[in-house]
Structure 1
Amino acid sequence: MKFLLLQTEDYLLPCLNKQMFGVECPGCGIQRSLVLLSKGEFVEAFKMYPAIYTLLLLALFILLNFKMKFKNSKRIIITLAIINVLIIVISYFIKMNHLIN
């Protein structure tokens, strides 16, 4: 399993925004966070990308909704999406503020 994880880390996609403009995008860190999750490093995964758990919750709910139609599923998906956007934007601004200071 460790060999598989090492291979995965070697093939992470680079951030084009960071390469072209030198500034991280709001999605920077999500791939590394998923790798950390697969290693069982849950706190480090959260520190790398704070929205990782809510994004996984949203993805899981959407997948489950294909199998079992939930009542008010549209409202739940929209609420989870808004929560994710807020977490991503707030954590991005905090990260950029730390880089500037």
Structure 2
Amino acid sequence: MYLQLTIFSLSLKEYMLPCLNKKLFGVECPGCGMQRSVHLLLQGEFMEAFKMYPAIYPLMLLLVFLVSTIFVKFRFASQIKLILMLTTAGAILVSYLIKMNILF
């Protein structure tokens, strides 16, 4: 299974899309690094994935929760979803501001 995941991960690298915002304006967008971060996650490089795109873990947690709510009904699903969305948006915003040297 690990070998199959590695082969799949290697083939994904060939199909990564360039950032249109960066190509046109020379400025990274808030999503820059997400594809490479997912690629690193699939390779098992968890710390490198976080360094590439710090919002990857809240985003993955949100996606897992959203998919799981299709199959399982949670008692406070809407509140959990809202908290996860705000956490993800906050992580994206803070990491982008740090990357652009606006914060710290």
Q: Same fold judged by TM-score > 0.5?
A: yes
The question of 1:10 aligning with 2:14 is answered yes
1:63 maps to 67
Partner of 2:27: 23
Match of 2:56 among 44, 52, 57: 52
Instruction: Report which of the two has the higher share of helix.
Output: 1
User: Identity across aligned pairs (percent)?
Assistant: 51
Instruction: State the TM-score, normalizing by the size of structure 2.
Output: 0.89
Q: Unpaired segments of 5 or more residues in structure 2?
A: none
Alignment-derived partner of residue 33 in structure 1: 37
Coordinate RMSD, CA, aligned: 1.2
Deviations 1:31-83 (A, max 9, x none): 00000000000000000000111111100011111101101101100110000
Shift of 1:6: 2.4
Does residue 73 in structure 1 map to residue 69 in structure 2? no
After the TM superposition, list the runs of 4 or more consecutive aligned residues in structure 1 that deviate by more than 3 angstroms. Answer: 1-4
Alpha-carbon distance in 1 for matches of 2:8, 2:38: 14
5+ long unaligned stretches in structure 1 = none
